[in-house]
Amino acid sequence: MTQRYPVEPLDLREITARTLAYYEQRAEEFRAGTHDHDVSQNIAALLRHIEGEPPFTILDFGCGPGRDLRTLAALGHTAIGLDGAAGFAAMVRADTGCEIWQQDFLALDLPSTHFDGIFANASLFHVPTQELPRVLRHLHAALKPRGVLFSSNPRGENSEGWNGERYGAYHDLDAWHRYLSHAGFTELEHYFRPTGLPCDQQPWLASVWRKSSI
């Protein structure tokens, strides 16, 4: 699975195209399969660290079929979704009425200092490691001063590559901490999921970060 560096531009385009095609072909299946997943712990972790009075402006980065976007909007926040898959974008617009931006993670166009929080649940692991610092800098710039970034990714031993038709990068806690710290974030908390299981049965690393300086 380990990817050789550097990843050439043509390879990056293939990574994006194949991964997005996977989701495009399975949009309805993915919506049905993830509809009942309980990520309330993750949403609460983001919201409790945002300073100031709600409602907040929150970017759901990699919103997929819109489950979490719908929850954030129902809580009264201004929730904006971002996803690279056209099928997801159309689905979420129809289902939620929220504003949706269709953008490739490797070609982001985000407003500066706009968001109180960014919710990146099961999305940033699709970013190839060599591109991760640049993507994190985009997210850092899009947050308001002292804004909050939540991320949840499948953890691993710092390897990356193809998992079927999806590309993934699987970082351990130390590596993830280095990437976020170098991008100008300060860690607020981290935990492993699902809750209530031994650590070796908790494949997801969730972490919360405050925008500091770069």
| Per-domain residue ranges of the chain | 9-211
- Segment among 180-184, 185-189, 190-194 with least mean pLDDT: 190-194
DSSP 41-89: HHHHHHHHH--SSSP-EEEEET-TTSHHHHHHHHTT-EEEEEES-HHHH
Pairing of strands 115-121, 143-154: parallel
**Secondary structure of residue 112 in the 3-state scheme:** coil
pLDDT at residue number 196: 85
Question: How far is 70 from 33, CA to CA, in rounded Å?
Answer: 16
CATH topology of domain 9-211: Rossmann fold (3.40.50)
Is this prediction's pTM over 0.75? yes
Confidence of residue 199 (pLDDT cuts 50, 70, 90): confident
The H or E element spanning position 29 is helix 27-34
Is it the case that residue 2 has pLDDT exceeding 90?
no
Is it the case that residue 157 has pLDDT exceeding 90?
yes
pLDDT at residue number 38: 77
For 114-128, write each residue's pLDDT tens digit: 999 999 999 999 999
- Segment among 29-43, 107-121, 186-200 with least mean pLDDT: 29-43
For 130-146, write each residue's pLDDT tens digit: 999 999 999 999 999 99
pLDDT at residue number 37: 76
Sequence-distant (6+) residues with CB within 8 A of 197 are: none
What values do phi and psi take at 27, rounded to 5? -60, -50
